[in-house]
Structure 1
Amino acid sequence: MIKNKYIRNGILMLAGSLLSVSFYAFIAVKGDVVPFNLERVARVTGKSISGETFPNPNRTNELYDVGGTDLGIAWRMGNGKVGFFFGDTYGNDFKVVNEGGPGKAGNWRSNVLGLSNDKTLADGLTFESMVAHQIVPSPHITDGTGSHTTIPTAAIHAAGADYVHYMDVRKWGSTGSWTTNYSGLYKSLDNGQNWVKCNQVSFGALSNFAQVTYAKKEGFVYMVGTVPGRWGSAHLARFKESDILKQDAYEYWNNAKGWVKNDEKSADAIIEAPLGELSLAYNKKFKRWIITYLNEKKAEIVLRSAQNITGPWSSEKTLVKSTEYPGLYGAFMHPANENTDEFYFLMSMWKPYNVFLMKAKLKFAD
């Protein structure tokens, strides 16, 4: 759960219930990737509510005691399946409340995991199972003096294991702001069933990599990160897949010096603020890097593209507007996007406090 998502300009945003299709026009440079024909395909988590006409194949409230949750960070696992890490999760007693969010629901878990082998997303995303117990632990100290919760920010398969990057949240603050204790990694060697902490990697509470997104290309894992919250700039690092647990081998992008090894503070901004809930991928069809994120100031999920990971990045292209999907956040790309102009992603909404599968089309700007 990421707090304070549901107020926009002092107005409480109510969740839409019917599938909508949109086309957005952009001011774009030729060669930029632009999205169009947005639609909501299906519900991914929770119980269908009155008025919804789209599918709900997982019924997670009934099958896994997952009534309310958010995020849905997707990555291709070592066994070829796709994993989905969710954030603060609540049980089957979850009910949609006026102010949005989890309300007083029980069985609070900081994170859970969905597993899928579904290759046909046009009719929705189906899980074959969930690891529905809390994976990255937290004592849930809610007075701001300890670990309030542990929220996944990214996941990747590298060097024979699956990894999740998470932030240990100390305190939720004002809109789009929160404080962390540190950020770190857990790994699984058995396709997500069991996870252990990786003490070799840790990022400080004010690190530009407190929240990250991962993508692989040509033997490297690229990591784009921000400070805690949704108001920071994006910074870039990389490491060889085999070096994921060797933090002193990480390289950071500096605009003047290029790649600088083992000097986190040398990382310059590659995209200026504000960015929240990042998702990064390389699209082979367009031969472009794609990044999506929430622009809290605009209350929009936006998309940028670039030929080179170091930039220059295109201007923001609106992917989803909060005027059509109130209380939106997160835009975690599905790995099925990597070689096509079909663009699937998981989007959270604060009012229903659940996750939905979205789809758009991509094209080059004329």
Structure 2
Amino acid sequence: IDPYRHLISTSWQKPEHPAIEITSPHWYQKESEFESDVATAHQIERWKPFGKPIIFGEQGNTGQNWDERSALRMRLRSWSAFFNEGVLIFWNTSGFKDYRNESAANLYIGPEERGYVRALQQFVRDIDPDVQKVTVAVSDQSRVRVYGLRSAKSFAAYLHNFSDHEKPTTGLSLILDSPMSGVGIWYSPATGQVIQQMPVPSGVQTLSIPPFVVDIALKIQVSQTSGTQDLSAQQSTKVHYVPGSSRKICQLTGEIDRERQQPTLNQTESRFGVRGTDLGSSFKHNGRVYFLFGDTIGRRGGDSIAFSEDADPEDCVALQFVTGPDGLYLPPRVPGIRLGAFEVPTGGFSHNGKMYVFFTTDHSEQKVMGRSILARSRDNAQSFEYLYDVSRDKFINIAPVIVNNAEVPGLPDSQGQGLLLWGSGTYRKSDSYLAYIPLNAVEDRQALRYFAGLEPNSVQPRWSTNEPEAVPLFAHPCIGELSVAWNPFLRKWLMLYNCGNPRGINFRVADQPWGPWSSAQVLFHPWEDNGYCHFMHVSWASRRCDSVHDPGRENEWGGEYGPYLIAHYTKGDEMRTMIYYVMSTWNPYNVVLMKSVLEVER
């Protein structure tokens, strides 16, 4: 039927037809939320006899697309579907909450609903795809239903307190057969937070279930002490994003703030010839904060570098650009290194009065950003010297941070200062990696050491001289641009990066540079945090809600990327921190200054 050999389905179920390879029924219902999990299980079991994958092509409510319990029903259905080997595609009607249809009223999917889906996505990300349903027992089946999945590499369980959604459960236990020893992680489907962790041996055993109100989930992961590992599974997320706190402070570059229709503070086109640019990784050098901008639309092309002496970013940041004799921006040049499109500065640092900058180069149709190099400037970015190739593999985009070695036990050196390098490899398809080099040996590539996991039966990091031995800090292969900084108020390392799943600017925290890193949380979502239809363009082919696009790009979507922390501006106290960062918006092609708030869980 399909010459491209795609899987064949229809928008209405025809599972008995031999050419149909995916069963895709429609299901609309307004069941009691106390029955949502079992109603979902029954719907999936109905179609299993045909022996084909089950993806509900439409799922939603009957009667009305929203009511005060519909978000909870959606959450329970979603988790039950995963644990019963089915998939739900919700028929979204999110423009309003009063759409009525007795048979197919669709479903309102707003911030609460999206948060529930995001929590499920985080939970399932590292579960073995070969898991199958397995019987799991709970000590009180009159109050709680339980569903289980198991393979040789993973175990997961989901529990629903169908008897009471107001009072927490107490004194319950779970009887299971774990395929391996590892770390058991109790997880909240409502918030996406880790509730409790404990070591779990292999074999049949009984585990105490933490108190919960509506539902709770468990997964058991292999406890690895060396080699490739997802360290994020071993740490409870103790910091969370304050919903609604992410906001644009100002448009940092360009001539006109497209959203506010007024001149930008910096008016970079008339003053420096910079019409548009992106990125903006920053670092302190000689008393100023320097910003490394990427591909620049202007009179000279190339990239651009700016600096600021502002002490407070709350009302925007005044920029001066590194310029030539004519007053126009001066693109950085490194002798012998091509710096064209996608060949950009990604991070920098200062040492002994000299500026050091990591650049990407060797961009091609086969590989975005093929190589990274380190360059040095002795004249505040007026000129650069090539020092050495850094990587063609796992450290293409690089986020450098200077540390006092004595304050970070476990580094290769215990005295003096060092430079930590967080890196990513294949563009926007990479995990994150870590390397270290003594600051006084930063011009010697042979001094680089790569984090290669933990020593056996230990929490001490292992360092290797070989880049191929570098292991991911966590499993999330979507990373390209990234930034990392020590947050002195949270007393944690904070990492930002853009990702497609979950969509938006993601963040993680860790007590040590190598982790364990927390699960990913979304810091900025383009719809939920007033990006689209405000300062990020929505394609006119989809809807007309803004006019912030660049000329001739009416039908091209904007997008969020390049979240670079400005560590110098961080504020807060021991319970809350205000972070400031730049973010690129693609269309319009410029950089905005952002602010978000993170809190320690009380």
- Bin for the TM-score computed over the shorter chain: 0.7 to 0.9
Q: Where do residues 1-366 of structure 1 align in structure 2 (5 Å cutoff)? A: 26-29=191-194, 32-36=238-242, 37-52=245-260, 56-77=264-285, 79-91=286-298, 107-109=300-302, 111-131=303-323, 132-137=329-334, 150-172=343-365, 178-198=367-387, 201-205=388-392, 207-218=393-404, 219-257=417-455, 258-272=461-475, 273-323=477-527, 324-325=530-531, 326-338=558-570, 340=572, 341-366=577-602
Moved over 4 A (4+): 22-26, 137-141, 146-149
Is the CA contact 1:226–1:234 (under 8 Å) kept in the aligned structure 2? yes
Larger Rg: 2
Quick one: structure 1 residues 127 and 50, their matched pair in 2 at CA, closer, same or farther if it must change by over 3 Å?
A: closer
TM-superposed CA distance for 1:140, in Å, is 11
TM-superposed CA distance for 1:306, in Å, is 0.4
Query: Which structure 1 residue ranges, 5 or more long, are not aligned?
Result: 1-21, 92-105
Tell me how large the CA RMSD over aligned residues is.
Answer: 2.6
How many pairs does the alignment contain? 318
Quick one: structure 1 residues 344 and 148, their matched pair in 2 at CA, closer, same or farther if it must change by over 3 Å?
A: closer
Quick one: structure 1 residues 191 and 108, their matched pair in 2 at CA, closer, same or farther if it must change by over 3 Å?
A: closer
Amino acid of the structure 1 residue aligned with 2:578? E
Between the aligned partners of 2:358 and 2:283, the Cα distance in structure 1 is 12
* Highest RCO, 1 vs 2 (Cα 8 Å, sep ≥ 6): 1
Partner of 1:14: none
Task: State which drifts further: 239-248 or 341-350.
Answer: 239-248
Three-state SS of the structure 1 residue aligned to 2:319 is coil
Quick one: structure 1 residues 35 and 172, their matched pair in 2 at CA, closer, same or farther if it must change by over 3 Å?
A: farther
Three-state SS of the structure 2 residue aligned to 1:268 is coil
Between the aligned partners of 2:486 and 2:495, the Cα distance in structure 1 is 9
Structure with the larger helix share: 2
TM-superposed CA distance for 1:298, in Å, is 3.0
Q: Identity over aligned residues, as a percent?
A: 24
Between the aligned partners of 2:385 and 2:335, the Cα distance in structure 1 is 14
Three-state SS of the structure 1 residue aligned to 2:276 is coil
Three-state SS of the structure 1 residue aligned to 2:322 is strand
Is the CA contact 2:278–2:296 (under 8 Å) kept in the aligned structure 1? yes
Between the aligned partners of 1:129 and 1:51, the Cα distance in structure 2 is 24
Between the aligned partners of 1:295 and 1:241, the Cα distance in structure 2 is 31
Is the CA contact 2:425–2:480 (under 8 Å) kept in the aligned structure 1? no
Between the aligned partners of 2:271 and 2:420, the Cα distance in structure 1 is 36
Between the aligned partners of 1:73 and 1:339, the Cα distance in structure 2 is 19
TM-superposed CA distance for 1:365, in Å, is 2.4
How high is the TM-score relative to the length of structure 2?
Answer: 0.50
TM-superposed CA distance for 1:115, in Å, is 0.8
Is the CA contact 1:33–1:364 (under 8 Å) kept in the aligned structure 2? yes
Quick one: structure 1 residues 139 and 262, their matched pair in 2 at CA, closer, same or farther if it must change by over 3 Å?
A: closer
Is the CA contact 1:138–1:147 (under 8 Å) kept in the aligned structure 2? no
TM-superposed CA distance for 1:194, in Å, is 2.7
Partner of 2:29: none
Quick one: structure 1 residues 321 and 187, their matched pair in 2 at CA, closer, same or farther if it must change by over 3 Å?
A: same
How high is the TM-score relative to the length of structure 1?
Answer: 0.80
Quick one: structure 1 residues 50 and 322, their matched pair in 2 at CA, closer, same or farther if it must change by over 3 Å?
A: closer
Quick one: structure 1 residues 305 and 347, their matched pair in 2 at CA, closer, same or farther if it must change by over 3 Å?
A: same
Is the CA contact 2:375–2:385 (under 8 Å) kept in the aligned structure 1? yes
Structure with the larger strand share: 1
Is the CA contact 2:395–2:422 (under 8 Å) kept in the aligned structure 1? yes
Is the CA contact 2:503–2:525 (under 8 Å) kept in the aligned structure 1? yes
Quick one: structure 1 residues 299 and 162, their matched pair in 2 at CA, closer, same or farther if it must change by over 3 Å?
A: same
Between the aligned partners of 1:256 and 1:359, the Cα distance in structure 2 is 35
Between the aligned partners of 2:501 and 2:448, the Cα distance in structure 1 is 32
